[in-house]
């Protein structure tokens, strides 16, 4: 086949598929959000925003992302630099650290439930140490801080691995000569990290952060497993609009709000970590 047409033939299936199952549904959801049956309206948005749970779930979602993502960034940077200096046992350590990559948010929620539930391992440890004499119901409305902490820990535990993989791959692409030169000039490890690793890692940092931030706004099953209704988040509200209340318009409107927030933060990350043209390795 002609080499001019061939690439288009090869990308045709993906394009068609994404057209039907990505772009078309996107148009549909926008339509749904802006109509209640008769013409263009903002009623759905008004309903969703004025519902008493909206400010709380928006606040919870943003707060969780604001706590979890920076911690994950720091943790994955630390782990990635540790791994890059490792000689023995590198593969083993990397495998262990990337295990959570394959674990779903629901499973992670259940795993941390084993620790935080009333007869769970945290209570067992605390009573073993004599801190408490009766198991406490940690995941209850009396302890909103602990519910938040449990959800944050489960998220950090589960989703740091994806950032780690992206950063380790990025560090692997940095030429060794840079570090050797820095060594010759007597730059400390910390200086090397600040002056070589961080700037050269910018494209990977960008990908990792965008992926994580977008996923942080989609937090859902971890919360369902650990907090239930104690900790409303945006995705959970979309689910209950769609599923419990059967209000498609409201669900669509809220989904668009989540999308707008995601795009807003994606643009910020792209701007802050922009890679100068032609500067990549």
Partner 1 sequence: MTDSVAIAAPAGSTRKAGRYVYAASVFLLCAWVIVPLYFLFINTLSSPETVNSFPKSFVPEFDLGSLTFFAGFNGMLTALKNSILVAGMTMVLSIVIGAPAGYALSRFDFRGKELFRMLVLLTRAFPLPLLALPLAVLFIRTGLDDTAFGLALVHTTLAIPFAVLITFSLFSGIPIELEEAAWTLGCTRFTAFTKVVLPLILPGITASAIFAFVISWNEVFAAAVLTIENRTLPAFLLQTLGEAPLHLKFAGGFILVLPALIFIFAVRKYLFAMWGIANR
Rule CB under 8 A: which of 167-196 touch partner 1?
168-170, 172-173, 180, 183
Q: Contact, 93 vs 99, CB < 8 A?
A: no
Q: What are phi and psi of 40, to 5 degrees?
A: -70, 135
Toward partner 1, which CB reaches closer, 148 or 217?
A: 217
Stretch that binds partner 1, among 37-45, 64-72, 142-150, 259-267 (CB under 8 A): 259-267
Q: In the bound complex, what is the minimum distance in angstroms from residue 55's beta carbon to partner 1?
A: 19
Rounded to 5°, the CA angle 46-48-49 comes to 65
Specify the residue, 68 or 225, whose C-beta has the smaller distance to partner 1: 225
For residues 134 and 269, give the distance between their C-alpha atoms in angstroms, rounded to a whole number. Answer: 47
**Would you count residue 15 as binding partner 1 (CB under 8 A)?**
yes
What is the Cα–Cα distance from 232 to 238, expressed in whole angstroms? 11
Q: Which residues contact 211 (CB under 8 A, 6 or more apart)?
A: 162, 163, 166
Please identify, among the stretches 14-22, 59-67, 144-152, 190-198, the one whose residues bind partner 1 according to the rule CB under 8 A: 14-22
CB 254 within 8 A of CB 248: no
Chosen residue from 117, 148, 155, 200 binding partner 1 by CB under 8 A: 117
Q: Considering the rule CB under 8 A, would residue 97 count as an interface residue with partner 1? A: yes
Q: Decide if residue 106 touches partner 1 (CB under 8 A).
A: yes
Q: Using CB atoms within 10 A of its CB, is residue 158 exposed (0-12), middle (13-18) or buried (19+)?
A: buried
Tally of CB atoms within 10 A around 270 = 13
Residue in 100, 97, 72, 73 with CA at minimum distance from that of residue 86: 97
Q: Judged by CB under 8 A, which stretch of 36-44, 47-55, 191-199, 204-212 contacts partner 1?
A: 204-212
| Residue selected from 6, 63, 198, 279 as contacting partner 1 according to rule CB under 8 A | 6
Residue 42 or 263 having the CB closest to partner 1: 263
Among 34, 45, 112, 231, binds partner 1 (CB under 8 A): 112
Among 200, 220, 231, 233, the residue binding partner 1 under the rule CB under 8 A is 220
Name residues contacting partner 1, limited to 19-78 (CB under 8 A).
21-22, 24-26, 28-29, 32, 78
């Amino acid at each position: 086949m002609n080499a001019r047409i061939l690439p288009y033939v090869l990308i045709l299936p993906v394009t068609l598929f994404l057209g039907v199952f990505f772009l078309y549904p996107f148009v549909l959801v926008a339509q749904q959000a802006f109509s209640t049956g008769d013409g263009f309206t903002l009623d759905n948005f008004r309903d969703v925003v004025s519902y008493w749970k909206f400010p709380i779930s928006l606040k919870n979602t943003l707060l969780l992302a604001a706590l979890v993502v920076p911690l994950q960034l720091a943790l994955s940077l630390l782990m990635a630099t540790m791994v890059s200096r490792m000689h023995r046992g590198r593969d083993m350590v990397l495998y262990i650290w990337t295990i959570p990559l394959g674990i779903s948010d629901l499973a992670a929620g259940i795993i941390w439930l084993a620790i935080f539930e009333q007869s769970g391992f945290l209570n067992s440890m605390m009573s073993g140490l004599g801190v408490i004499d009766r198991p406490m119901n940690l995941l209850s409305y009396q302890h909103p801080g602990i519910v938040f902490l449990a959800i944050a820990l489960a998220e950090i535990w589960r989703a740091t691995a994806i950032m780690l993989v992206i950063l380790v791959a990025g560090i692997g692409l940095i030429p060794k000569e840079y570090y050797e030169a820095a060594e010759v000039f007597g730059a400390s490890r910390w200086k090397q990290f600040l002056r070589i690793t961080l700037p050269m890692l910018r494209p990977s940092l960008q990908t990792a952060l965008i992926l994580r931030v977008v996923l942080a706004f989609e937090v859902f099953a971890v919360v369902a497993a650990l907090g239930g209704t104690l900790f409303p988040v945006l995705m959970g509200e979309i689910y209950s609009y769609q599923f419990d209340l059967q209000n498609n318009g409201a669900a669509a409107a809220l989904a668009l709000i989540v999308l707008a927030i995601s795009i807003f933060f994606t643009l910020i990350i792209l701007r802050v970590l922009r890679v100068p043209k032609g500067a990549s390795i």
